[in-house]
Chain A
């Protein structure tokens, strides 16, 4: 057990850092949406430090760069990435946001110094008529035109259809995309930025990105040292959401202790209410990895409304969206989903007590002597917690993980409760009276 205990200690330390970030987010949300019992203003979660942070187009100037990311177990991994021409290394690439109908141009420069020491490129799955024009030394690759070190390529296309799309390297993808050359492109519909698609019912109160990939440190180590790597024995050890592994993923966007991993994915939600909180949350899944990942959100099923940037509509305009509690996101796929929480039981928000007697909490286990549990089963209520247990709950909110159900991916190398996961925090709409 000592080995296991030691490893767990390192995780706890890092996890606690992450929690600080998390709590600041939740606290901000509480001030904004609970204390004031205001309804969730569309997209305003972003201002709290979570949700999607756009780099706006339609013209983008990107470059390749290399750098290191840190893993929750203290390890660091060498990566290749896209970043803005004025930016520093980040993982994943910037979230490119454009509007339907715009002519998008993405210029990719592969700096001779600080860039990737081999030809690189970008392909835009889901876009049509992507034209590539390169500098003098640009070369034609298998998938598209490529930029060797010191060269650049400009990709131009019209963003015809709204939705969620990947952009990623079209050069040795099994190597370069795994190394980190990927990102997400969001095309806003004609209806406006508060809608997922040109359908009034895709209006959302907030949006979140869940962008998946895997990391086999052997590949990254070999690439860093210029050594050979055997793809046929590939074995991922880390799994990323938005370039971070759990629990780091629930820290704020731009958390200072994750300087090269700017994007978090803590989901903040409140119970559905037809007047004060009528709009669902839009979650954008994308998988840049080589493996299909079964993603399981606790809390409530998500409604799958779109695939690969196309609303799920039948030939007669039928709504063929559907709900599930686990969605296998295949390599290269994107999904748009709607999430909402419903207060379905009388005891839920500050209502009657639950019809069971919760044992004395002294006689239960709080893992690692800390908990996000409020001490009361009801949403918005708080109860006594045992002495010595670090209580992270603010206003009786629920915390529920969203994670890969290929559970070995819900780890960091050999530590559980890590890897391919994030958390949704369900907050009460107001502090209920009944507690």
Chain B
């Protein structure tokens, strides 16, 4: 059979129309030529149907809404985190690398105070579709291993059609050495939940903690996951899954090599914390380098968006028994297909979020009605019903084998509407939450910034 297949066609048409043809077709004169140009423009806009809907629906060259300039900055350095079963504060001993939230346009010298004081994980970054995002990353160096003059990069994981130099893979572009800043630039053309991490000696630097959530929200309105009212929410929470394999952390501190194919995680974290630390509020003073809470506090009836990302090296199966979850987005693509026969809604209900490394899910649920009497929250005195969000890979519900439940476990707390929580003003808001803690050892005291940068 020919590559064209069997064509049902009674007679051929002229492949190109002459001006005479057009005149015959109705005295168009030269207008036919104009039509050609217009069609080209339409095609550039990706107006075609079917599988070619792979085109981003908003092509930058087409008219985009008025874009704002957004400036943000993170600093790359090292530090320590605390894990259950390991020495806790004030002497946490799990050596980590990371990105810490600093003032936009800070100079290297101004960032001295952050050296060796990194937080886990990297801050949540929330930017806006079609905006011009100026994202500076400053490498202020490693304090514990000054001999390691490791460079760093930002890889905006999943960002489509990125220029190589902003894609952050050092072997095929550049890396940022100690004492230098680099102005990453992104103009997102698609909403959704993405992630970012360092791609320099990636197997080491990602595991060491240089990873975070970045999401793109539609330019309007604010509380939609996608440009689609069906994805509206009242509260949103980043659920950043990863693992800690303490061996390379200890090896690095002890100037030892790690054989990466030996990989065998022994801690499993949400937002940089293991259960039960996951339940502590934002900026809890007892966890100065793990400021981001994994507690999910909502009012009965709230529409809640969970932005799952997995930057560990293992697949996980997260469950929230008692509450049906609806997956509306996968890898920053709305689960909806507008090609072929009409629009197909591919979102689905599930009890299990099966999520592999480097994958993202946008999950919506409606908080159930409150059932009295519930439990009483010691932090805010309000009464709530408790649901568990936890890893169904139950052999990972441990902190390196130490006694008690551990790992990727947290709670969804549904509060009594008679004494509701206030409206959410930033992702992962906890009630109460603390102001950012002092950077250890600073005098006069200097303070961290919040572990989120959202516009």
A and B part of one assembly: yes
Q: A274-B40, A365-B151 are in contact. List 18 more A-B contacts (CB 8 A).
A: A191-B1, A192-B4, A275-B40, A294-B356, A298-B169, A316-B341, A318-B341, A318-B342, A319-B50, A326-B358, A340-B52, A356-B183, A364-B176, A365-B175, A401-B171, A404-B357, A407-B206, A411-B260
A-B contact pairs, 5 of them (CB 8 A): A1-B148, A201-B51, A274-B40, A322-B330, A367-B171
Q: Which of A194, A321, A399 is packed against the most chain B CB atoms within 10 Å?
A: A321
Is there contact, CB below 8 Å, between A325 and B204? no
Other-chain residue from B167, B177, B261, B314 in contact with A298 (beta carbon distance below 8 A): B167
Is there contact, CB below 8 Å, between B169 and A366? no
Once the chains are docked, how many angstroms separate the CA of A355 from the CA of B147?
35
Q: State which of A134-142, A171-179, A412-420 sits at the interface with chain B.
A: A412-420
Total interface residues in chain A, CB < 8 Å: 91
At the interface, yes or no: A237 with Cβ under 8 Å from chain B? yes
At the interface, yes or no: B339 with Cβ under 8 Å from chain A? yes
A3 neighbours in B (Cβ, 8 Å): 257
Is there contact, CB below 8 Å, between A377 and B163? yes
Other-chain residue from B1, B53, B262, B356 in contact with A292 (beta carbon distance below 8 A): B356
Given A303-B54, A323-B333, A411-B260, A398 and B176 contact (CB-CB distance below 8 Å): no
The B310-365 residues at the A interface (CB cut-off 8 A) are 313-315, 330-333, 335, 337, 339-342, 344, 346, 356-360
At the interface, yes or no: A193 with Cβ under 8 Å from chain B? yes
Interface string of B134-167 (1 = CB under 8 A from A): 1000000000000110010000011011111111
Interface string of B1-23 (1 = CB under 8 A from A): 11111000000000000000000
Once the chains are docked, how many angstroms separate the CA of A344 from the CA of B187?
10
At the interface, yes or no: A202 with Cβ under 8 Å from chain B? yes
B40 neighbours in A (Cβ, 8 Å): 274-275
Once the chains are docked, how many angstroms separate the CA of A400 from the CA of B147?
30
Is there contact, CB below 8 Å, between A322 and B258? no
A17 neighbours in B (Cβ, 8 Å): none
Is there contact, CB below 8 Å, between B162 and A356? no
Given A318-B341, A318-B344, A345 and B315 contact (CB-CB distance below 8 Å): no
At the interface, yes or no: A280 with Cβ under 8 Å from chain B? yes
A344 neighbours in B (Cβ, 8 Å): 56, 59-61, 160-161, 189
At the interface, yes or no: B230 with Cβ under 8 Å from chain A? no
Shortest beta-carbon distance, B81 to chain A, in Å?
19
A193 neighbours in B (Cβ, 8 Å): 3
Is there contact, CB below 8 Å, between A325 and B315? no
Is there contact, CB below 8 Å, between A399 and B172? yes
Is there contact, CB below 8 Å, between A354 and B333? no
At the interface, yes or no: A305 with Cβ under 8 Å from chain B? yes
A345 neighbours in B (Cβ, 8 Å): 60-61, 161, 187
Is there contact, CB below 8 Å, between A341 and B182? no
Which residue of the partner chain B has the closest CB to A203?
B3
Shortest beta-carbon distance, B308 to chain A, in Å?
12
Other-chain residue from B132, B169, B207, B356 in contact with A328 (beta carbon distance below 8 A): B356
The A199-248 residues at the B interface (CB cut-off 8 A) are 199-202, 235-238
Once the chains are docked, how many angstroms separate the CA of A299 from the CA of B46?
18
A314 neighbours in B (Cβ, 8 Å): 344
Other-chain residue from B2, B162, B171, B340 in contact with A417 (beta carbon distance below 8 A): B171
Once the chains are docked, how many angstroms separate the CA of A263 from the CA of B182?
38
At the interface, yes or no: A124 with Cβ under 8 Å from chain B? no
Is there contact, CB below 8 Å, between B165 and A377? yes
Is there contact, CB below 8 Å, between B356 and A326? yes
Is there contact, CB below 8 Å, between B43 and A300? no
Is there contact, CB below 8 Å, between B182 and A1? no
B46 neighbours in A (Cβ, 8 Å): 342
Interface string of A296-339 (1 = CB under 8 A from B): 10111101010000000010111111111110100000000010
A338 neighbours in B (Cβ, 8 Å): 51, 54
Is there contact, CB below 8 Å, between A201 and B161? no
Is there contact, CB below 8 Å, between A379 and B357? no
The A364-380 residues at the B interface (CB cut-off 8 A) are 364-368, 371-374, 377-379
Which residue of the partner chain A has the closest CB to B204?
A416
At the interface, yes or no: B86 with Cβ under 8 Å from chain A? no
Once the chains are docked, how many angstroms separate the CA of A237 from the CA of B261?
5
Shortest beta-carbon distance, B409 to chain A, in Å?
22
Given A371-B172, A400-B167, A325 and B158 contact (CB-CB distance below 8 Å): yes
Once the chains are docked, how many angstroms separate the CA of A320 from the CA of B53?
12
At the interface, yes or no: B119 with Cβ under 8 Å from chain A? no
Other-chain residue from A1, A322, A408 in contact with B203 (beta carbon distance below 8 A): A408
The A384-435 residues at the B interface (CB cut-off 8 A) are 398-401, 404-411, 413-414, 416-417, 423
Interface string of A336-366 (1 = CB under 8 A from B): 0010111111101000001111110101111
Shortest beta-carbon distance, B347 to chain A, in Å?
11
Is there contact, CB below 8 Å, between A414 and B258? yes
Is there contact, CB below 8 Å, between A379 and B163? yes
A401 neighbours in B (Cβ, 8 Å): 169, 171-172
Once the chains are docked, how many angstroms separate the CA of A410 from the CA of B358?
13
Top 4 nearest A-B pairs (CB, nearest first) are A319-B340, A405-B358, A274-B43, A192-B3
Given A408-B313, A413-B261, A324 and B161 contact (CB-CB distance below 8 Å): no
Interface size class of B (residues with CB under 8 A): 35 or more
At the interface, yes or no: B426 with Cβ under 8 Å from chain A? no
B52 neighbours in A (Cβ, 8 Å): 201, 278, 280, 340
Is there contact, CB below 8 Å, between A326 and B51? no
Is there contact, CB below 8 Å, between B166 and A377? yes
Other-chain residue from B148, B165, B346 in contact with A322 (beta carbon distance below 8 A): B346
Shortest beta-carbon distance, A126 to chain B, in Å?
22
At the interface, yes or no: B174 with Cβ under 8 Å from chain A? yes
Which residue of the partner chain A has the closest CB to B311?
A405
Once the chains are docked, how many angstroms separate the CA of A367 from the CA of B181?
17
Is there contact, CB below 8 Å, between A301 and B158? yes
Given A346-B60, A398-B163, A410-B203, A321 and B180 contact (CB-CB distance below 8 Å): no
Which residue of the partner chain A has the closest CB to B46?
A342
Once the chains are docked, how many angstroms separate the CA of A314 from the CA of B345?
11
Is there contact, CB below 8 Å, between A364 and B182? yes
Once the chains are docked, how many angstroms separate the CA of A86 from the CA of B435?
73
Once the chains are docked, how many angstroms separate the CA of A423 from the CA of B169?
11
Shortest beta-carbon distance, A32 to chain B, in Å?
20
A301 neighbours in B (Cβ, 8 Å): 54, 158, 160, 331, 333
Q: Which of B189, B339, B358 is packed against the most chain A CB atoms within 10 Å?
A: B358
Once the chains are docked, how many angstroms separate the CA of A296 from the CA of B157?
9
Given A1-B147, A319-B339, A235 and B261 contact (CB-CB distance below 8 Å): yes
Interface string of B399-430 (1 = CB under 8 A from A): 00000000000000000000000000000000
A130 neighbours in B (Cβ, 8 Å): none
Which residue of the partner chain B has the closest CB to A272?
B55
B358 neighbours in A (Cβ, 8 Å): 294, 296, 325-326, 405
At the interface, yes or no: A190 with Cβ under 8 Å from chain B? yes
A272 neighbours in B (Cβ, 8 Å): 55
Which residue of the partner chain A has the closest CB to B248?
A408
Shortest beta-carbon distance, B438 to chain A, in Å?
33
Is there contact, CB below 8 Å, between A321 and B167? no
Given A356-B183, A371-B173, A414-B259, A407 and B54 contact (CB-CB distance below 8 Å): no
At the interface, yes or no: B302 with Cβ under 8 Å from chain A? no
Is there contact, CB below 8 Å, between A365 and B169? no
B54 neighbours in A (Cβ, 8 Å): 280, 301, 303, 323, 338, 340
Once the chains are docked, how many angstroms separate the CA of A201 from the CA of B157?
28
Shortest beta-carbon distance, B27 to chain A, in Å?
28
Shortest beta-carbon distance, B228 to chain A, in Å?
15
Is there contact, CB below 8 Å, between A192 and B2? yes
Is there contact, CB below 8 Å, between B162 and A299? yes
Once the chains are docked, how many angstroms separate the CA of A341 from the CA of B3?
25
Which residue of the partner chain A has the closest CB to B153?
A365
Once the chains are docked, how many angstroms separate the CA of A292 from the CA of B315?
9
At the interface, yes or no: B250 with Cβ under 8 Å from chain A? no
Shortest beta-carbon distance, B150 to chain A, in Å?
9
B165 neighbours in A (Cβ, 8 Å): 358, 373, 377
